[in-house]
Amino acid sequence: MRQTRSRTDRPLQREAINDVSPFLDLPPLSAAEFAAIEDQVAALLHTEADVIVTQGEALLPLEAAIRGAAHPGSTALNIVTGPYGQTFGNWLRSCGATVVDLAVPFDSAVSAEQVAEALRADPGIDFVSLVHAEAATGNTNPVAEIGAVVREHGALLMLDAVASVAAEPLLTDEWGIDLCVIGGQKAMGGPAGVSAVSVSERAWERITANPAAPRRSYLSLLDWKERWTDAGRAVLPHAPAQLEMLALGACLDRIAADGLPAVIARHRAAAAATRAGVRALGSLSPFVTEDAHAAPVATTLRTPDGLHAGEIAARLDPALPVQPGGGALAASMLRVNHYGAAASLDTVRACLAGLAAATDADAEPALAAAGAAWKANVEA
């Protein structure tokens, strides 16, 4: 195990620390290693399109995709099913695009029919932004059906799949996703400091034709296309975020070794077990009412009237992956994060036992219901 030392030791112990830290004095990450990691991401996303591994948290490729595609004169349908959709709308407006917001209550999902109706109402829509799963609100949207509707209309589809990748099926090409953005920090159990975006041929055409698309900028996908992808991925344009790239490679290797279907099954089972357990508890209820709309990465819970989510959270062991909701939902929502290593029956059981104690409920029926739901879903 790596030794930890107090800060005050550091100046005197620098050499010793270099000897024990696996993070220091690493050989450079080669272009070939970088390209191999991109290819692993492409396989994970089921895409033949170009994949660029972006050197920052997932907000970087999300903003880069929007600024690359949107411009004055374009009309975007921005589907808002949680807080990230609101962020995308702000970026789209700042690019000068006309934005049509399609917002649905955060405890449900948008339907393909609602999207089709919005597209029919405004035939000029040429870009659609959608979040697959929303960790913050615990819902997930039917991307396959929505993708078909968007493709028929002819608009580009950008998908934020940060909270769905490795937690539920994600078929980028089959579903017609032109810009698919992922991050490693949720179900992949990897780093938050790098992310990736797949760019379809149609998306490249649109971005290349957009005079407002960023160039010579950290937000420029076109710079990566010109200097990296189209140049045969031989020379990296700048030094990569090496530790994060190594971690991304490691979590992709682990997913390949475990098998993607098994990783997805663990997340599906964790969500089903949490929902079944919470229903048996009785003191709390799933925030997302329909099982079909519930995200596999996180289960959001509605607190009983009069009991503040922060108060319940304060009664829990801080090691449990449970937190109050954000923003307007801080008082009335709790969120159980069961992704990555936490997508396990042990974690779900610990969360349910903690929530039972914190809300004066009986844990036993909840644990039994969770166990049964886990078994049924992990084997499904």
Strand ranges for the chain from DSSP E: 50-54, 75-80, 98-103, 125-131, 133-134, 139-140, 156-160, 179-183, 195-199, 285-286, 298-302, 322-324, 333-337
Q: Give me the least distance between CB of 147 and ligand PLP, in Å please.
A: 17
Instruction: Scan for tokens 């078994």, then name that residue.
Output: 375
Pull the structure tokens for residue 133: 């799963």
Residue at 244: amino acid letter: E
Does position 37 interact with ligand PLP (CB under 6 A)? The reply is no
Pick 198 or 283: Cβ nearer ligand PLP: 198
Instruction: Scan for tokens 């490729």, then name that residue.
Output: 61
Q: Which residues partner with 183 through β-bridges?
A: 195
Per the CB < 8 A criterion, the answer to whether 352 and 278 are in contact is: yes
Does position 135 interact with ligand PLP (CB under 6 A)? The reply is yes
Per the CB < 8 A criterion, the answer to whether 172 and 155 are in contact is: no
H helix count then E strand count, the chain = 13, 13
Does position 131 interact with ligand PLP (CB under 6 A)? The reply is yes
The CA angle 198-105-297, to the nearest 5 degrees, is 50
Per the CB < 8 A criterion, the answer to whether 300 and 286 are in contact is: yes
Applying CB under 6 A, the span of 31-39, 66-74, 160-168, 232-240 interacting with ligand PLP comes to 160-168
Pick 40 or 185: Cβ nearer ligand PLP: 185
- Answer for which of 61, 183, 249, 324 binds ligand PLP (CB under 6 A) is 183
CA dihedral 119, 120, 126, 129 (to 10 degrees): 0
Q: Give me the least distance between CB of 84 and ligand PLP, in Å please.
A: 4
Pick 131 or 150: Cβ nearer ligand PLP: 131
- Answer for which of 160, 168, 178, 223 binds ligand PLP (CB under 6 A) is 160
Q: Give me the least distance between CB of 48 and ligand PLP, in Å please.
A: 24
- Answer for which of 57, 63, 107, 223 binds ligand PLP (CB under 6 A) is 57
Does position 168 interact with ligand PLP (CB under 6 A)? The reply is no
Pick 42 or 162: Cβ nearer ligand PLP: 162
Does position 177 interact with ligand PLP (CB under 6 A)? The reply is no
- Answer for which of 63, 66, 70, 84 binds ligand PLP (CB under 6 A) is 84
Does position 134 interact with ligand PLP (CB under 6 A)? The reply is yes
Which parts of this chain interact with ligand PLP (CB under 6 A)?
Answer: 57-58, 84, 131, 134-135, 160, 162-163, 183, 186, 192
